[in-house]
A and B are shown apart, each in its own frame.
Chain A
Amino acid sequence: MLSQVASEALAYVDALHNLARYLTGNETDAEDLVQETYARALRAQHQFTPGTNLKAWLFRILRNTFLSLYRRQRNNPTVGGLDTVDADAQGSASEPWLLGDIELDRLRKLVAEEIETALMTLSEEARTVILLDLEGLTELEVADVVGCPVGTVKSRLARARAALRRQLKDYAR
């Protein structure tokens, strides 16, 4: 009889690959990261608590794997633009242009490539919380994935989205 991890984990390969692609910035590294994630998940399947969110558990393994494999390259801007913009260093979202109808109008005109490019300029941490939120993980689950308190996730997400909006300002016409 297969464990829940063995029987269900492959159903999340698309979601894991999407996050891996946005973390690594390229297809080859994303595929390697996903393969390594599944290998580690199988080895650690006895640690999974049945009834909890398997997808969140896999995301945590993927992110930890990413940090361990790619930590040496984190300062290399050619590898996925990691840490090229620190979301924590971004200003407040309360600047007038950010809250105006002009921004609303610009957001509506953004195309896919512009959103992707802007997202890739953010730090790994900012990209991760934005994408996990987009995947519908609760703040508690995101906190478990990134290993920080729920309150920190809430503020990181707010700062990350503010940073993204600032980046999008440059792309919007």
Chain B
Amino acid sequence: MTCGEARDRLLDYQRGRLAHAAESEVRAHFADCVECTRADAVEHELTRALEQRLPQHPASLALKRRLAAQWPAPTAATPSWWSRWRPALTPALAVAALLLLAAPVLYYERAASRATGERAGLVAEAVNDHLRVLASQHPMDIESSDVHQVKPWFEGRLDFAPRVAFEGDAEFPLKGGAVGYFRDRKAAVFMYTRRLHPITLLVFRADGLTWPTRAPAPGGPIEVYRTADRGFNVVMWRTPELGYALVSDVDARDLNALAARIPPQ
């Protein structure tokens, strides 16, 4: 590989976007080329300066309120013919449906689809919680990059202890935490970032939820569930007691890298 070829691939290399073979070639070239190694360091430092020191200009509260006021609410839509008559017609239609369909068949079909629906529901809930955090004026109740400040802050605010050992690092700095809700229960919300991307980690009690992954036996391997919903990548896993959901619009590869650093316990 020539220096020109290595420089052309430099940003992709730093973003982790190269295929394994190409990545190995670039790394091998850097090992032998002082100039390209220096160029790599300079580009990395420029990215760091932009990510950490370029001033950010979030929308003002006034603008957010103006937009929210102009935004369509679920009740603002003109009711359709069906929505107006649905309350009156639904019982009659339901009875008709029951007469037409054999009840046992319906029961077994619904039982099979319910589990799938509930699993998809958990993913949708995790994405909705992430969106709520993004839309919040004050997404963090405690702002700190020190996990040993964030975790004790949850004491007395949750009915469980969120087990998160990852302290954040240069690639995924911890920004803080908050108390949120996942379905019907409280959740510990940890905020990490990847460049300018917010990443939400939700930790909550796993009991009573139809989980996408099996609960591990004590000391056994953790089963991780990876998916995407509405453009967001989601990684979920559970211990016998706690559920974990990691949500962000960062690349799946980046999110998996962060998931690997949060040791399942």
Which chain A residues have a beta carbon within 8 Å of chain B's beta carbons?
Answer: 1-2, 4, 6, 8, 10-18, 21-22, 27, 30-31, 34-35, 38-39, 42, 50-55, 93, 98-101, 103-104, 107-108, 110-113, 115-116, 119, 130, 133-136, 138-139, 154, 157-158, 161, 164-165, 168
- Whether A35 contacts B45 in the complex (CB less than 8 A), given A2-B72, A99-B35, A134-B51, comes out as no
Q: Is the CB of A112 within 8 A of B231?
A: no
Which chain B residues have a beta carbon within 8 Å of chain A's beta carbons?
Answer: 8, 11, 17, 35, 38-39, 41-43, 45-47, 49-51, 53-60, 63-64, 66-68, 70-72, 74, 131, 134-135, 194-197, 230-231, 249-251
Q: Is the CB of A158 within 8 A of B11?
A: yes
- Whether A165 contacts B46 in the complex (CB less than 8 A), given A17-B63, A51-B230, A135-B197, comes out as yes
Q: Is the CB of A112 within 8 A of B55?
A: yes
Residues of B near A17 (CB, < 8 A) are 57-59, 63
Q: Is the CB of A35 within 8 A of B39?
A: no
- Whether A6 contacts B57 in the complex (CB less than 8 A), given A134-B196, A136-B249, A158-B11, comes out as no
CB contacts between A and B, total, < 8 Å? 132
Residues of A near B49 (CB, < 8 A) are 107-108, 110, 115
Q: Can you name 15 A-B residue pairings with CB atoms under 8 Å?
A: A11-B135, A17-B58, A18-B57, A100-B38, A104-B42, A107-B42, A107-B46, A112-B53, A115-B50, A116-B54, A119-B54, A134-B196, A161-B11, A164-B46, A165-B46
Q: A6 touches which one: B17, B71, B249 (CB < 8 A)?
A: B71
Q: Is the CB of B55 within 8 A of A157?
A: no
- Whether A11 contacts B59 in the complex (CB less than 8 A), given A99-B39, A107-B49, comes out as no
Residues of A near B35 (CB, < 8 A) are 99
Q: Is the CB of A18 within 8 A of B56?
A: yes
Known: A21-B57, A107-B49, A135-B195. 20 other contacts (CB 8 A): A1-B74, A8-B230, A10-B67, A11-B131, A13-B64, A14-B56, A31-B59, A34-B63, A39-B70, A50-B230, A55-B231, A99-B42, A107-B45, A112-B53, A115-B50, A136-B194, A136-B249, A158-B8, A158-B11, A168-B46
Q: A10 touches which one: B50, B68, B195 (CB < 8 A)?
A: B68
Q: A2 touches which one: B64, B74, B195, B250 (CB < 8 A)?
A: B74
Most buried by A among B64, B249, B251: B249
How many angstroms between the C-alpha atoms of A15 and B46 in the bound complex?
Answer: 20
Residues of A near B46 (CB, < 8 A) are 107, 161, 164-165, 168
Residues of A near B42 (CB, < 8 A) are 98-99, 103-104, 107, 165
Q: Is the CB of A104 within 8 A of B231?
A: no
> Nearest chain-A residue to B68 (Cβ)?
A10
Residues of A near B8 (CB, < 8 A) are 154, 158
Residues of B near A14 (CB, < 8 A) are 56, 58-59, 134
How many angstroms between the C-alpha atoms of A35 and B60 in the bound complex?
Answer: 12
Shortest CB-to-CB span from B255 to chain A, Å, is: 11
